[in-house]
Each structure stands twice: as structure tokens, then as C-alpha cells.
Amino acid sequence: MKFDWTRMHEASVDEQLVWLRAWEAQLQAHITRQRRMLDAESSVSGELLVMQRERLLKEIQTVIIAAETRANDLECQLSSLRIAIGCQQLLS
């Protein structure tokens, strides 16, 4: 999933929420695939990568909840940007 950084900066919280949900779904699917492959290989480095992705997924879910409850909008924007960067790096 490609990410347009300029649009994120200008996006409303509602638009960011849509993107976060899309990232959440994509990351969850990626983690599930990686977990299946990992079960077959049993590699330590693979386990660490999956754990990083799971931690990022939890952060996405936390920000989604904050955005839905209209917590601090600026904090949601910064978290969304940080999450997007992390997703871009992990899923590339």
C-alpha cells in the first residue's frame, strides 16, 4: 500500500482514521502470513520481525480508538504519521 505523505499532513482526523483502518487490515494480514511461515521455519529473527509488526499493530489500534473518541487531534496526527512510516518500512 503506497502512502502519500502530503495528503496525510493535510488530512482530517476522519480521513486519517480511514487510512489507519486500511493499514490495520493490511498489517494484520501480513502478520498472519508471517506467523504461518514462521511456524514452519522457527527462526529467531523472523520471530523478532513478527513481534515488531504486532507492536505496530497495537499502536495502530490505540490511535484508532483515540481518533474515534476525538482525543487530542494533533497527537492522533503525529501518531498516524509515525505509524505510516513504520508500516511503510515493515511492509516494503
Convert the pLDDT of each residue in 45-56 to its tens digit: 777 778 888 888
Total domain count for the chain?
Answer: 1
Lowest mean pLDDT among 1-5, 23-27, 69-73, 85-89: 1-5
pLDDT score at 80: 67
Residue 69 belongs to domain spanning: 11-91
Tens of pLDDT along 54-79?
A: 888 888 788 778 777 766 666 666 66
The better pLDDT of the pair 31, 84 is held by 31
> 4 in a domain, yes or no?
no
On whether residue 19 sits in a domain, the answer given is: yes
Length of the chain: 92
Question: 88 to each of 41, 68, 72, 73, 82, how far by Cα in Å?
Answer: 25, 23, 24, 22, 10
What's phi and psi for 51, nearest 5 deg?
Answer: -65, -40
Is-contact 50 86, C-beta < 8 A? Answer: no
In a domain, 3, yes or no: no
Q: Which three cell numbers stand for residue 65?
A: 480508538
Instruction: Answer whether residue 1 is part of any domain.
Output: no
